[in-house]
Amino acid sequence: METRQNSDRAAAYVAVVTYLGGQSFDIWWHAKNVSLVPETPVRLLSIHLGIYVGAALTVVAGGMLLRRSAGMLAGSLLVAGGLVQLAGFFLDMWEHGHGRTVDLYHNLLWYGFIIAAAGVVRMEASTESPSLGAIPAPDSVS
């Protein structure tokens, strides 16, 4: 059971790190490529691939947590957060491909990340094994 718990945790962290890496690349790319010319959807997909993969991995990690009774809330938050991110990404890509932008779609990216981060916090709060980094409570207060 602990091995499965560790792999679920690892998947959640890989998802978060992949997403943040994709966002970092996106920020760097936009800083280097300031243009008012709309990018094609295929080009947008390649630019934002790290973000999309991170969001998809978030949904997968949430699904892994949903297999455990102790991971239902955390898993649900990760799945919901990843789906909100993916919805925002694809809606945003569609609008950019047509030379438009909608602030709500950009905001969905971060709203979804906040939901997923809450899932990671809940996952860590439900972790009971001291071998996973939990600090044991003192026996008595002096």
Domain boundaries, the chain: 2-127
Integer angstrom CA distances of residue 129 from 6, 8, 9, 86, 135: 10, 14, 12, 33, 10
Cα end-to-end distance, the chain, whole Å:
36
**pLDDT tens digits for range 16-40:** 999 999 999 988 988 888 776 767 7
- Residue 130 makes CB contacts below 8 A (sequence gap 6+) with 136
**pLDDT tens digits for range 73-91:** 999 999 999 999 999 988 9
Record the pTM: 0.79
Residues of the chain with pLDDT > 90, as a percent, come to 49
- Do residues 113 and 85 make contact, with C-beta atoms less than 8 angstroms apart? yes
d(CA 68, CA 46): 35
